[in-house]
Amino acid sequence: MIDLNDRLALVTGASRGIGAATAEALAGAGAHVILVARSAKALEDVEERIHAAGGSATIAPLDLTDADAVAKLSEAVAERWGKLDLMMLNAAMLGSLTPVQDIDAKEYGRILNINLIANLALIAAFDPLLKKAERAEVIGVTSSAGATPRAFWGAYGSSKAALEGLLGAYADETAYLKRLRVTILDPGATRTRMRSLAFPGEEPEEVKPPQVVAERVLALLGEERETGMRIRVD
């Protein structure tokens, strides 16, 4: 197992699903994990599991669409730790699955705010701290709908396509550092609340649990590969 002692990780959407499983895996490998999501109670539950397993974590309940709150979080992290070793951009909103002509503009705005603009704010706020780390990782969670357009998935898929473009550009811009690596992670079919909303008739046992994705994230941290790569977990 990779040793993450003395490393600081930040995971968004950490209250459940892939975010919670990854946060627990990172803490199990020795990292101190900052848990970010809107629900303080759900974050406390994840924090308790991490502590019970011998790990360490700090909860940061906030609305990721609040740019001021994101900036204040980065300031707090800078003051306490001075750097950030890993940032996992996992929080996302599915929205309604509907034909493009029926997409509700207000809901689409919320989807873009959470799936794209919030991640831009996080990158902007934490870029200086990532660049202070000896070796930093940024992992952005995407979807197959972001790479391959799919009927009725226009709103969500286009938000993920834009996120992939943003992350790819950031990877290219920071490649010269040789110590900040960006990974675009497609978790594939995974047993999450979002998956159950998108495929209500699917048996949960038919798809892999979030822990499989979390284990792949840990493995990715120990692999040698180029920045900006798109990785799928099957």
What the chain holds in terms of domains, given with CATH numbers, is 8-232 (3.40.50.720)
- Is 170 one of the catalytic residues? no
Which listed residue (108, 156, 170, 176) is catalytic?
156
- 2's CB contacts (< 8 A; 6+ apart) are 29, 218, 219, 221, 222
DSSP β-ladder status, 136-141 and 32-37: unpaired
DSSP tag of 114: I
In 10 A of CB 27, how many CB atoms?
A: 25
Q: How many residues does the chain have?
A: 234
pLDDT of residue 204: 87
pLDDT of residue 1: 72
Q: Are 46 and 35 in contact (CB under 8 A)?
A: yes
pLDDT of residue 172: 98
pTM score of the predicted model:
0.96
The per-residue pLDDT string of the chain (234 residues; one tens digit each, 9 = 90 and over) reads 799 999 999 999 999 999 999 999 999 999 999 999 999 999 999 999 999 999 999 999 999 999 999 999 999 999 999 999 999 999 999 999 999 999 999 999 999 999 999 999 999 999 999 999 999 999 999 999 999 999 999 999 999 999 999 999 999 999 999 999 999 999 999 999 999 999 998 998 899 999 999 999 999 999 999 999 999 999
